[in-house]
Amino acid sequence: MLKGISPLISPALLKALSEMGHGDEIVLADVHFPAANLGPQVIRADGVGIPGLLEGILQLMPLDQYDPDHFALMEVCAGGTVVPTIWEDYATITAKTEPQTTPTMVERFAFYERAKKACCIVATGETAQYANIILKKGVVR
């Protein structure tokens, strides 16, 4: 255990965050996401919700200030009736460390294509639909 690091951040996730460089991306995936089929390393975070994990990650990793597309969400499919209230949680969390962050909405299949190029995918226990996030790492300011 280390001081100041969320207990939700596993050693494997801490290693991945540390190895990421400026512009590299990480996916926080809900339980519905096809993490194992896309190619990048999968880090398991079973039983962990994305809001707590997001808060822990943003305490350690800045988002890319030079790319407005540094925080991406999977948009609801056309004709879908789901209202992802978890996005409100994300807005509250990002406002604490990244107050200028406005999410970019990415169509489902475009999100999968972008996820294929990520450094890793964190497969969480989050059950909310459309809870998936892509974070682009920035530099410590």
Mean pLDDT of 90-119: 94
Q: Residue 40's pLDDT is what? A: 87
pTM listed for this prediction: 0.94
Long-range contacts from 115-118, C-beta under 8 angstroms, 24+ separation: 115/27, 115/29, 115/38, 115/40, 116/38, 116/39, 116/40, 117/25, 117/40, 118/24, 118/25, 118/26, 118/27, 118/40
CATH code: domain 11-136 is 3.40.1650.10
Per the annotation, the verdict on 22 as an active-site residue is yes
User: Mean pLDDT for the chain?
Assistant: 94
- Which of 12, 14, 22, 97 is flagged as catalytic? 22
Contact partners, residue 14, CB within 8 Å, separation at least 6: 5, 60
What tokens appear for 98 in the block?
A: 């990244």
Q: Residue 59's pLDDT is what? A: 94
The span from the CA of 132 to the CA of 117, in Å, is 15
> 27-75, pLDDT tens digit by residue?
999 999 999 999 889 999 999 999 999 999 999 999 999 999 999 999 9
Mean pLDDT of 85-91: 96
